[in-house]
Amino acid sequence: MFDNILNRFRKGLGIDLGTANTLIYVKGHGIVINEPSVVAVNTKTEQILAVGNEAREMLGKTPPHILTTRPLSGGIISDFEVAEKMLRYFFDKINESERQKFARPTVIIGAPLEITEVERKAISDAVISAGAKNVWVVEEPMAAAIGARMPIREPIGNIIVEIGGGTTEIAVISLSGIVKWRSIKIAGDELNRNIMQYAREHFNLLLGEKQAEDIKIQIGSAVEIPQSAQYPMRGRDLVTGLPKEIMISDSEVRESMVKSLRTIVENIKATLEISPPELVADIHERGLLLSGGGALLKGLDQLIARATEIPVRVADDPLTSVVRGTGILLDEPELLSEVTVLTTKH
């Protein structure tokens, strides 16, 4: 009886705890948090100085005693304490924005495919430590497929490629389960590093990660674009040690990323090769779905379509597919029980 009363006041949260960004869906309110997974810590006092957008602005600009860190690496928690504090900060922010004080929330959170039971438990424990009551962990490609409204419960072959900050996950889904999958550590962050390495090798220019990401977003593409473009690349000259600006072209950016993009395509093909022929026949007819921030790279759908000879489409608002999927699961307990890989109750 008491639990039923509490449940009426308990907030339901869906979380996409990504390497690059954290998104939180609040039942009845939609997506209320969409901020970078970055935390600034004062190492002298162990105090959290900034989280999210504010902390991202500090990247590469702090004195020695202030550390800007990402508590996740490849979708896995690499710094438990900082991850827990970041989640607690976001939970407090949600509570402050609402007039009514809620009981500890029930949370559904996405986790990468290729992680151990211990790493999965670490995600759940961090959410509990941050203030959650119950936690259900689901696999990210499954959450993304649900968020994109794919018919995952049907006896139909669905393939989704979720390209996040730290990992690219390829999953063939049928009857609410993942039949075949692959997970690789080449995703958005690796493409940024490719641009940084290209700048160093070809222009003797030391480039910051934020600059590299801006270049990727502005003129990055997977295939040749109709109108060539250029973008200013600013960094430190490795010869003189002085600030320097060079114009980089879209073809040069494309050249820097070609090896990583080829690896993603080869892994998609390899996943199709090991999938049951009946499901592959469905996929050939229905096509492949791209989700995650990496899906926004211009022409990536065309590159994959050419290589696999199957139709490719990008999910509506691919950045939010996973968190929208967790939001849908808050209202579908039966489906949640089918796709949950770990449940923790406090």
Top-confidence residue, 95 or 192: 192
Nearest in space to 321 (alpha carbons), one of 94, 162, 170, 112: 162
167 among the known binding-site residues? yes
Please, which pLDDT band fits residue 75 given cuts at 50, 70 and 90? confident
214 among the known binding-site residues? yes
164 among the known binding-site residues? no
21 among the known binding-site residues? yes
263 among the known binding-site residues? no
Which range, of 57-61, 110-114, 203-207, averages the lowest pLDDT?
Answer: 57-61
- Please tell me what DSSP assigns to residue 205: E
pTM, two decimal places = 0.92
Cα 47 to Cα 42: distance, rounded to the nearest angstrom: 5
Tens-digit pLDDT profile for residues 252-307: 999 999 999 999 999 999 999 999 999 999 999 999 999 999 999 999 999 999 99
165 among the known binding-site residues? yes
pLDDT at 192 over 70: yes
68 among the known binding-site residues? no
Do the Cβ atoms of 150 and 160 come closer than 8 Å?
Answer: yes
Instruction: Return the pLDDT at 59.
Output: 85
Instruction: Name the helix (H) or strand (E) containing 26.
Output: strand 21-26
Tokens of 254: 């494309």
pLDDT at 85 over 50: yes
CB atoms inside a 10 Å sphere around CB 199: 24
Domains and CATH numbers, the chain: 2-143+321-345 (3.30.420.40), 155-186+261-319 (3.30.420.40), 188-256 (3.90.640.10)
Share of the chain above pLDDT 90, in %: 85
Strands (E), 70-224: 72-73, 76-77, 103-111, 134-139, 158-163, 168-174, 177-184, 205-206
pLDDT at 122 over 50: yes
299 among the known binding-site residues? no
235 among the known binding-site residues? no
Tokens of 285: 């007819």
267 among the known binding-site residues? no
294 among the known binding-site residues? yes
327 among the known binding-site residues? no
Tens-digit pLDDT profile for residues 7-62: 444 689 999 999 999 999 999 999 999 999 999 999 898 888 999 999 999 988 88
Tens-digit pLDDT profile for residues 213-236: 999 999 999 999 989 999 999 999
177 among the known binding-site residues? no
* Per-residue exposure over 25-50, b if at least 16 CB sit within 10 Å of its own CB, e if not: bbbeeebebbbbbbbbbeeeeeebbb
213 among the known binding-site residues? yes
The backbone torsions φ and ψ at residue 313, rounded to the nearest 5 degrees and listed phi first, read: -130, 155
Tokens of 38: 């970055």
